[in-house]
Chain A
Amino acid sequence: MHTYIARRIAEAIPLILLVLVMNFLLLHMAPGDPVFLFIEGGSGTTEEYVAQVRKMLGLDKSLGEQLLIFITNVFKGDLGYSHYYQRPVFDIILERMPITFLLVFLSTFFAAVIGIALGVFAGRRPYSLIDRINTVVAVFGSAIPIFWFGQLLIIAFSIHIDIFPTGGIPTRALGGGGFMDWVRHLVLPVVSLGVVQLALVARITRANMLEVLGMDYIMNARAKGLSDRKVIFKHALRNAILPVITVISVNFAFQLTGAMITETVFSWPGLGRMMFESVFRRDYPVLLGLLIVMSVGVIIINLITDLLYAFLDPRVVYD
């Protein structure tokens, strides 16, 4: 088990390095001289000044040296400096990360709970009403753009029938910030972000349930005289649920970027909102920093799921 963990971690490190190299090359290949991200290229700028700034930023060094410095900086937590925010990029990202992750985790949880329930009942009785609902949800969720779904939810539930706010998070100054206030603000973003994932989870749970319920050990459990509920939840679900974990993990990158788009729809002040504004300001350091944090985050999440999977499924061979 320990060697398995060590090997998986050892495999993840070159992947992280490669992602960093890709990011560096992307920055390097971008058109325009990077020096002019730091100074205004007006008529008053002398060539000596440009050369001086270039030296100060280390842009006169060779490509290999620059790459080495870049990677060391990233590992030290230095992702550059945003001139708009007047702060280091890493600090801004860290500050906004919790609120984005709140959205990601709640919507994943919502999708997992509802999706698995839907899939289990649909798989238990194929072609029943609940199976039909499952099919409709799956078809719907596979084609709907989350941002449009968010807009529809706003039109329906905060403008037509005014029960949820159109967006934002609770503000203390207006007397908000209580638990119920947070719930009210979270419902629409969580549902809109979760629906795609929910459809996927439901579909896969259904398929797995159908497969598992046809196996010999289930027949054996039934023959022992176990109740239907025990057979479904204790015996079948345990095996049917494993691939669902993989799906949720594989889709983590999707869920994360989805969260960023959802934030734009609901004016949620997290990373996505920052990304949206940075696109307009052409704030390269912030965009690149986000990209690095997100790609490394995805690799780490995938690593954790792999380990979790090995822990949950005794059939995984560790060596």
Chain B
Amino acid sequence: MPFWIPGSYMIKEGGIEIDVSIPSSKTDALREKLWDFWKGYRKNKGAVFGLFFLTLVIFTALSADLITEFDPMEPGVGRPLQQPGRRFLMGTDDLARDIFSGVVYGARVSLVVGFSAALTATLIGVVIGSVSGYFGGITDDLLMKFCELFQSMPRFLFALVIVVFFGNTIWNVVVVIGIFSWPRIGRLVRSEFLHLRESEFVMAARGVGMSNVRIIFKQILPNALHVVLVTASLEVGVAIIIEAALSYLGAGDPNLMSWGRMLYNAQKFLRTSWWLAIFPGSAIFFTVLSLNLIGDGLNDALNPKLRRIRR
């Protein structure tokens, strides 16, 4: 155990034992919890790799201007369709734009869309799922019908049509993916609530006269948080793929260079210039893979019961 975890420690210094115990406080308890979480998480090697790679992608997105010297949208920085080489690490496209810059700046689009859309979906899903599961009865019936409605609509097609109708800005893409992605989280949260609302601590909270809103958010939700976190991390990956697919069909934001858009562009040159497709595609693949691996790791660390069943 590292030294910053509270507890009693003795060290020997020149033959004298010194008490270096760290008193525990509220922040220490949190730290200890985090440490326990990390101990569970790091057992999953894939999840550790995922976290490492995602951190790398986030870092790349944040410092894009420092990493590349070219603007990803600027044509004619070299010769068109140049092979990967020293000057252009990943080659150039038909308009002689630098592919490496595109991949680096594309990380911004994918991460912004992925995380914002997943956040939107999570917020909607948590509210609908918790209300539905907590109150039950006719509220539950109606909300679940609503959920079924959203699930039976092909999410990608709707997103495509809405983006085409209302304009293909990055924020429209975020909202649309968010609105059509909440049912999975909603259903999972609902089933957790159905189960937890019967537990003793909820009865006790009711007994002392706590309001429904407080019980939902302060009592039950923290206990259902692991489900939300795991599913949300998977939704980020799904949102990234949907955004890439929209851009691949030419319905992405025209002012931004994104991975999907680069693959759209690569389609015409598959025969001659493989590098147009390989690099942006790998970026999507490894980013989404990392997110899925992180989801697995979160599941292992937060939900030890489930892990035992799975194996």
Contacts and interface: CB of A to CB of B under 8 A. Distances in A.
**Centre residue among A142, A143, A284 by max chain B CB count within 10 A:** A143
A257 B249 CA distance: 12
Contacts of B152: 15, 19, 253, 295, 298-299, 302
A294 B157 contact: yes
A19 B149 contact: yes
Given A15-B152, A143-B237, 7 more contacts: A148-B284, A275-B157, A279-B249, A279-B250, A291-B154, A291-B157, A294-B157
A307 interface: no
B220 interface: no
B289 A139 contact: yes
Nearest to B167: A31
Contacts of A166: 270-271
A159 B162 CA distance: 36
A18 to B, nearest CB: 5
A148 B165 contact: no
A26 interface: yes
Interface of A: 14-15, 18-19, 22, 26, 30-31, 139, 142-145, 147-148, 151-152, 154-155, 159, 166, 207, 253-254, 256-257, 260-261, 264-265, 275-276, 279-280, 282, 284, 287-288, 290-291, 294-295, 298-299, 302
A31 B166 contact: yes
Contacts, number: 124
Given A143-B285, A148-B285, A152-B281, A26 B160 contact: no
Interface residues of B, number: 44
B292 A143 contact: yes
B157 A290 contact: yes
B248 interface: yes
B89 interface: no
A159 B271 contact: yes
A253 B149 contact: no
Contacts of B241: 145
Nearest to A148: B281
Interface in B272-290: 274, 277-278, 281, 284-286, 288-289
